[in-house]
Structure 1
Amino acid sequence: MFDLVDALAAIAAVTIALTFTSLDRRTAAVIGAAGSTIGVFLAWVAAPGAWTGTPVVPWIAAVLGAAGLVAGWSAVRLYDGVFAPPRVEQPDDTGAVTTIGR
């Protein structure tokens, strides 16, 4: 029972810490909650025996999960143009025509 409480406390703490230190709070809340939840779940699946008697494991897993998701989010935002088709510049046919409306 205390393992579940530790995991939920770790998820909440990492999410709150990431949210309060970010400029975009809504995105940070989603990334913090999702990343820490994924990290805790994967650590539990990978090593369920490490959870008994070691209250530090969920905290480390939550921090690493959130950091991994932040890194992934940053990479996607950085390379956003890689997935977009190349832009073709249309010729500018307006010239130097200026109209003055009334």
Structure 2
Amino acid sequence: MAGLLNALFAIAVVTVGLTVTSLDRRVALVLGATGSTVGSFLAWVVAPAAWSGAMPWVASVLGTAALVAGWSAVRLYDGVFAPPPEPADDTGTVATTRR
């Protein structure tokens, strides 16, 4: 039970730390909570015996850092959020028909 409380406290501290120091607090809250939770969970799945002491803290920080790095890489790529290019405009062509 103490390991779980330590992990939850680590998640809360990392999330609050990222949120307080960020300019966009809503995004920081989501990234901090998600990254630290996923990092802690994956560390627990990989090494449940080592789940004591500083392991939840390291996992929370590394998970958050990885998610922030991924978010930054996606935001830097222009093509992700740009609308698709419009098709070529062929309205300059005039067609006549006979009746």
Q: Which runs of 5 or more structure 1 residues have no equivalent in the other structure?
A: 91-102
Q: SS in structure 2 opposite 1:55?
A: coil
In structure 2, how many angstroms separate the alpha carbons of the residues matched to 1:70 and 1:26?
A: 13
Identity over aligned residues, as a percent?
68
Q: SS in structure 1 opposite 2:53?
A: coil
**How many angstroms does 1:14 deviate by?**
0.2
Q: What is the identity, as a one-letter code, of the residue corresponding to 2:56?
A: P
* TM-score, scaled to structure 2: 0.81
Asked if the contact 2:74–2:80 (Cα under 8 Å) also holds between the matched residues in 1, the reply is: no
Q: Which runs of 4+ in 1 moved over 6 A?
A: none
Q: Which runs of 5 or more structure 2 residues have no equivalent in the other structure?
A: 90-99
**How many angstroms does 1:55 deviate by?**
1.3
- Which residue is 1:20 aligned to? 20
In structure 1, how many angstroms separate the alpha carbons of the residues matched to 2:80 and 2:29?
A: 27
Does 2:69 match 1:64?
Answer: no
In structure 2, how many angstroms separate the alpha carbons of the residues matched to 1:87 and 1:24?
A: 32
Q: How many residues align?
A: 88
Q: SS in structure 2 opposite 1:23?
A: coil
Q: CA RMSD in A?
A: 1.9
**How many angstroms does 1:80 deviate by?**
3.3
Does 2:9 match 1:9?
Answer: yes
